[in-house]
Structure formats: structure tokens, C-alpha cells
Amino acid sequence: MAQGETKHKPQKHKKLMLVRYGRMGYLGWFEHKESYIPKTRSRVVIKTDRGLELGQLVGQFHYRGGHFKSTPEQVQEYYGKTQKDQPLTDGGTFVRFATAEDVMEEKHLDASAREEMQCCERFVEEMELPMKIVDAEHVFGGERIVIYFISSGRVDFRELVKHLAREYQTRIELRQIGARDEARIISDYESCGLPCCCRQFLKILEPVNMRMAKLQKATLDPSKISGHCGRLKCCLRYEDATYKELRKRLPKKNAMVRTSSGVGKVVDMQILTQLVVVQDETGERKAFRVDEIEIIKAEPTPAEPAAEDSDEKQEDITAREVDVETIEVTGHGEKHEGKAQEAGKANDKETRADITKRRMKKKDEGRGSDKD
């Protein structure tokens, strides 16, 4: 080995643990040196870019020798491409497993956060700012206070931040959130009897539309298919792909099908049970399984051949000539002039010449009668 060169030891794989933390339920990877991870629900003290925080260990049964069994790339693939609602963050460093004193301190901070929220609401009312305070979060280490609010537009809250910083002598962070994030923070249980999905496990909120409710035959009453956020429930999206796949196997409504009872028309269908209701010629309705019917393809109607007989052409020409003669006799200005133009475009050159000769002949006869 040459003088001055140092031999670098190969770097071992870092031990990482997955932790959920913060009021918004962020997920992050945190480096640690623990050789054993308990198989019970554990609270941990971690250090993030916001300061010291208290978090919840995720996947306590998914560790072996202190290593998380799945790689960060596999977890990232599970959540999909990076987007606005991506819950994975850069994480930080593991400090220690939380003690009973840490949990008690968290309770005291939560109580003080409620007082800070009330103080912020008072300042907002005094300044007449168009915003609604949703919640306040006092970071475990005391480094900052995070205020969550909703508003219909942008708000200039610089004076509010100055008042709060002067009141509590710490860093103040105001964060604007949407209706779904508000439900994630303050909601509890839904009409199904379970905790709200967005609060319990759902971190990426994808769009939901009314088509999904119609496809699943759900009631269209907004009060029954809307969540705490006032928007359509996220659970409508869970089975949408299954409903689409099952719907493709069924015939369209009013389609003609052949069954064991004869030919009939599809009047209704059940997507989940794959049943088709068929009405026969007598008006009787019966339900059949989708594999018991055969769709009758309607044969295309042949196009009618164009009229090529000389007699039909001659009749058409004669009719147009009569129309032109009527125009010349009545002569009511623009309306009849338009009809004459339409007739002239439809006739061929020979027909136009005949009409012109007839007009000249009538003009000559009219001049002769004037001279007499």
C-alpha cells in the first residue's frame, strides 16, 4: 500500500426504523443502533427537522435483528410516485424509546396546545382575519408551535405570527390545510362504526367522483355518501376497480339476448351477483346468470340504393320546373329568389338552359303585348 493511503472499511447497512409522527401522521425513516425491537406497540423519541418529537413505531413485527425487513424502495413503491399527499418524509434520528415521563410530558403539551389554540382564535377575531383555526400542535421538544387553519384564499398572517411569538417566546408556524386534512385531524368515527380511514391509515387521498357511487348502486343522498370533510367518502374508491371489471361482463341495458325461455330484452342487472333481468315479448321478467344468456348482435341495416331510373330523374326535373314557374308568376322577393337559386343548383346544365329559354320567350311575349 502506498504511503499516505488509508484503507476504507466497507460501510455496513444502516439500521432504520419506520415511525409515524406529528398531527398529520407523517411517516419517516429513522436511523438507530438498537439490536432488538420490541414486538409491542412502542412510542419513541425522535429528532426531525422540526425538533424533538414523540412518535409511534410502525410494523413492530416486521423487524429482524433491528433491521426493517422491507427496504425504503419497497415502501416507496407501495405508496406510489411522489405526490402532494405523500406521507413519507426524510425522517431523522432515533433518540430513545419513550418513558412514562415522556408520555406525561406529551399530555401536558397537548393541554397547553389547546390554550394556545384559544389564544390564536382570539387574535384572529381581533384582527378580523378570514381564517378558521382547526388545531394547534406543540412539538415535544418545545422548539415550535404549529397552528393549522383553513381559509378560502390566501391570508396575510404576518402580524398574527408576531403576536403569537411575543406571547409564547418560541417559533410559530402557521400551516393552511384543506377540508380533507381538517377531517383527518378532528374526525373520530364514521357511519360504518369504524374510525375514519383518513385518520386511521389512509394517507394518500385520491379523488372520488359521483360515477363511482352510481356504479355501486349507492344512494345518491349527499348526506349519506359524504364524509366529515363534506366530500364523497374515500371508501367509494376501494371497490371501484372490482365493480368496473364485473360490469364489463354484463350486457348493456336494452340489449337483445337469447335465454332458455326465448328471446328478450335486458331491463336490469345486478353487478355483484352477476344476474341479468330479461323481459320477454309477453312482458314477463326473469333473472338469469350472465353465463346463461347469449347476446344477439343486431345485423346492420343495408343502405338503400340511390335512384338511377331516368323516369325518377325526369319527375324531379319536372317538379323543379313547376316550382320555378310558380316563382316567376308570384315573384315575392327574397324568399322566392332563394328557392330559385336552390332549384338552379340542383338541375344539370341542360335543364338550366331550358329554363332560360322559357324565361326569354315570356319576356318577348310581354313586350309584344305592350306594343299592341
Confidence of residue 141 (pLDDT cuts 50, 70, 90): confident
104-113, 196-205, 287-296: least confident range: 196-205
Task: Quick: pLDDT tens for 298-317.
Answer: 554 454 444 444 444 444 44
Tell me, what's the pLDDT at 307?
Answer: 43
* Residues paired with residue 104 on neighbouring β-strands, in sequence order: none
Tell me, yes or no, whether 317 lies in a domain: no
Max mean pLDDT among 24-28, 150-154, 205-209 falls in 150-154
Residues 258 and 276 reside in one and the same domain: yes
Residues 194 and 254 reside in one and the same domain: no
What's the total number of domains in the chain? 4
Residues 189 and 153 reside in one and the same domain: no
- The total number of residues written for the chain in this structure: 372
Residue 24 has pLDDT above 90, yes or no: no
In CATH, what number is assigned to the domain containing residue 262?
2.30.30.140
Task: Quick: pLDDT tens for 79-134.
Answer: 766 555 566 777 889 999 999 999 999 999 989 999 999 999 999 999 999 999 99
Residue 320 has pLDDT above 90, yes or no: no
Residue 348 has pLDDT above 80, yes or no: no
Residues 64 and 36 reside in one and the same domain: yes
Residues 73 and 125 reside in one and the same domain: no
Residue 212 CB coordination number (10 Å): 21
Which structural domain, as residue segments, surrounds residue 31? 15-98
Tell me, yes or no, whether 372 lies in a domain: no
Outline where DSSP puts E strands in the chain: 15-21, 26-32, 43-48, 51-57, 63-64, 67-68, 88-97, 132-138, 144-150, 171-176, 256-259, 262-270, 275-279, 285-289, 294-295
Confidence of residue 6 (pLDDT cuts 50, 70, 90): very low
Tell me, yes or no, whether 326 lies in a domain: no
Tell me, what's the pLDDT at 311?
Answer: 46
Tell me, yes or no, whether 93 lies in a domain: yes
The mean per-residue pLDDT over the stretch 260-284 comes to 89
